[in-house]
Amino acid sequence: MTDKTKSGETAEQPTPSEEGRKSATAADSIVQLGQTSIPSGESNIFCLTIIGQIEGHLMLPPQNKTTKYEHVIPQLVAAEQNAKIEGLLIVLNTVGGDVEAGLAIAEMIASLTKPTVTIVLGGGHSIGVPIAVSANYSLIAETATMTIHPIRMNGLVIGVPQTFDYLEKMQERVTRFVTRHSRISEEVFKQLMFKTGELTRDIGTTVIGGDAVKHGLINAVGGLGDALKELNRRIGERKANVAEGGSKA
């Protein structure tokens, strides 16, 4: 089908089959990745969402809202390689999940060369804490919460010293990452982690908004506008540094 333009020329209109394919692709992206588009040239900022429960090596029940790490890792690689993507915004509302999968995502975000900003909306609990602090700059909504607690194991646990040594090493991995990528000290982080009486069925601490900033976990309290403003500022600085380096050469 064709349509007359104002200049008298004809413009090609997409056929119904093409529109159907585009709609199907968009729907697949929403279902599989939780977003309306994959990294492309439409924007210089790539938005990555970490929502629900972080799924690792074992599949969770279908009724669970999950973020699959095998989906997230290729997206991060694509965003890093795409020259049109100049910065990444990571939005978190997660209850936590698989420890190694969460750490893998956090390590990849921390190793990106492009400016990154994370924002915690709703919650960034458990293994979501390392992901929240993995970016160059982190924000948290005023009403958002972050739960800090020791690592737990599901399923069969063999009560031998080696099992507890393994858990301790896993815990140290999380602690080292968080303290290395935030302003919180190891002592304060462990105090929050092993605090009793605050969580009903577990030990640990839930910090809300400004408390996360006071403890040094998160850089600032803010919303989406603040996150985008900070990310654009860092993108501008990176461009200026690259231009300055090129002029000196």
For the chain, helix (H) and strand (E) counts, in that order, are: 8, 10
Q: Which residues form the catalytic set?
A: 126, 149
Residue 8 burial (CB < 10 Å; 0-12/13-18/19+)? exposed
Size (the chain), residues: 249
> H-type helices in the chain, by residue range?
16-33, 69-81, 99-110, 128-133, 161-180, 186-193, 210-214, 224-248
Alpha-carbon distance 214 to 128, whole Å? 18
Distance CA 205, CA 191 (A): 9
